[in-house]
Amino acid sequence: MDIATRKIEFVQKFLKLEDADSLSKLEVLLEEETSVDDLPKRLTKEDLNKRIDKSESDFKKGKFKTTKELLAKFQ
């Protein structure tokens, strides 16, 4: 099922709601999901270059974890 169909089905169910408590819960959830503060911040070109430089420096100093180390940590 594509996203457009899912949205339509959701709205149809939403319009049938008659319980104020359920409506309030959905309003809170929607507000949380669409909050501008939660969106990732865009990096400027300068900030991105600084991150790249730091990452390259850390790598040269041996400050990194291998894929195996990361996978072991989260398995």
Tens of pLDDT, residue by residue over 40-65, are 678 889 999 999 999 999 999 999 99
For residue 10, give the amino acid letter: F
CA dihedral 63, 64, 69, 74 (to 10 degrees): 110
Q: Are residues 47 and 69 in the same domain?
A: yes
Amino acid 41: pLDDT: 74
Q: Is the pLDDT of residue 34 over 90?
A: no
57 & 33 share domain: no
Domain encompassing residue 66:
43-75
Whether the predicted model's global pTM rises above the 0.85 cut? no
C-alpha 70/C-alpha 58 separation (Å) is 17
| pLDDT on residue 39 | 59
